[in-house]
Amino acid sequence: MILCIPNLPRTMWMTSSYIITAVIGSGTLSLAWSIAQLGWSGGLVVMIFGLVTLYTSHFLANSYRAGDPITGKRNYTYMDAVENILGGKNSIFCGIIQYANLYGVSIGYTIAAAISMMTITKTNCIHSSHAKKTCHVSGNRYIIWFGVIQLGFSQISNFHKMRWLSILSSMMSFTYSLIGLALGIAQVSENRGFKGTIAGAEAETHAKKVWAIFQALGNIAFAYSFSDILIEIQDTIKSPLEVRTMKRATNLSIATTTTFYVLCGCIGYGAFGNSTPGNLLTAFDKPFWLVDIANLALIIQLVGAYQVYSQPLFAFVEERTTKKWEIIGKEYKVQIPFLPSYNLNIFRIIWRSLYVVVSTLIAMLIPFFNDILGVIGALGFWPLSVYFPVEMYIKQKKIPKWSGSWILLQSLSMFCLLVTFAALVGSIVGVLLDLKTYKPFSASL
């Protein structure tokens, strides 16, 4: 669901590389801030999230086929697996969570793209003034610009399935992540040591410190919110070794990703200590050209990623609506000079435009990068990364209720539910606290 997956047989190495490129994204940039809230123990917390995700990912690998692991019915998507193995209300709950998560991500990506645009403007202003100006930058126009771009791309059906988009997104993700890591290392070198404390950033009150810690958990969860793509990737592995190959590939890819996350988070925190910003790239203003490249790469990746997350929701609503009212699906062929003909659908134009406009307005109303990532990460982590994989594994392996294995698995699920609840509450409180000092529609950097 995250990226276009060419339907070619894959080896363990190819599958690992694909998972890594699909996973590393804008969530990497908030990890330094998350560790700043947790203190130096934050690196250990990131590794724990990685271990839990690795453990439950093995359950998902077993869920690729319903029934017999060799000859059972294939599940081509995460939703198929939940519906065929668990069925009933579980599939409805899964659908609600998945589609709510998709919409939340489109809001988060709008905010992240606007922040990068503002950072480019501010960095260039500081450079051109020889650091004599503070260069305050208003963000509304950048949020609107990003929304206008998405209005155009949203009308291209199956835009998210274009293979070049997958390649471009992967290149851009690695570009800004590696630049952020390199700049952090350079800053640590300039400081002649690591900043930071065991307890992490201080807060005005003990309550605000607790909320910040919970919000940090949500941000880390967002960085690991990729479980719902693993089955789609597994579908590209040659049968009958898909389960074993997928488990080995998952081991390698999650170990690599977690190592990269810990490096980015800890070096970012070591570079700026308790004053680490929510988006690591906003902390740098030199060399300005390198900072601009990193932010431009992030913007390009987010333009495509917005559609990757939105198009499945577009398709879901349009398919359901067309089934109920056939006339809504009527298309008109429009000839465009020098371009292929375009199939115009009135409902598609109105619905997709409304989707983009509303998500843009929400981004302007609450442009809080870490708060929004925390909410999205919390909403998706427990149900998609833990609950459904655990329940599918229990049902497939026919683990007896109240047996030792059942109790351990349910304990893991309950613990992760508590973490998710804490992260969700902390992130929502973060939004409410920010709204007390923030005037709506006045985003700035």
Tell whether the model's pLDDT for residue 226 goes beyond 80: no
Residue 235 or residue 147, greater confidence: 147
Encoded tokens for 65:
């086929």
- At residue 2 the predicted structure's pLDDT band, cuts being 50, 70 and 90, is very low
Tell whether the model's pLDDT for residue 133 goes beyond 90: no
Residue 304 vs residues 19, 42, 118, 307: alpha-carbon distances, Å: 18, 31, 19, 5
Q: What is the pLDDT of residues 157-205, one digit of tens each?
A: 766 556 677 678 778 888 998 999 999 999 999 999 999 999 999 998 9
Closest among 341, 340, 99 to 228, alpha carbons compared: 99
The answer for residues whose C-beta is within 8 angstroms of residue 228's C-beta and 6 or more apart is 1, 78, 98, 380, 384
CA dihedral in degrees (303, 308, 310, 315; nearest 10)? 140
Residue 320 or residue 219, greater confidence: 219
Can you give the pLDDT at residue 105?
Answer: 87
Q: What is the pLDDT of residues 258-311, one digit of tens each?
A: 999 999 999 999 999 999 999 999 898 888 899 999 999 999 988 888 887 888
Closest among 153, 155, 165, 152 to 2, alpha carbons compared: 165
- At residue 9 the predicted structure's pLDDT band, cuts being 50, 70 and 90, is very low
Query: Which residue do the tokens 């020098």 mark?
Result: 338
Return the top range by mean pLDDT from 20-34, 247-261, 298-312, 337-351: 247-261
Give the whole-angstrom CA distance, residue 25 versus residue 237. Answer: 24
Give the whole-angstrom CA distance, residue 48 versus residue 386. Answer: 13
- At residue 220 the predicted structure's pLDDT band, cuts being 50, 70 and 90, is very high
Can you give the pLDDT at residue 136?
Answer: 82
Please compute the mean of the pLDDT values over residues 36-51 and round it to a whole number: 95
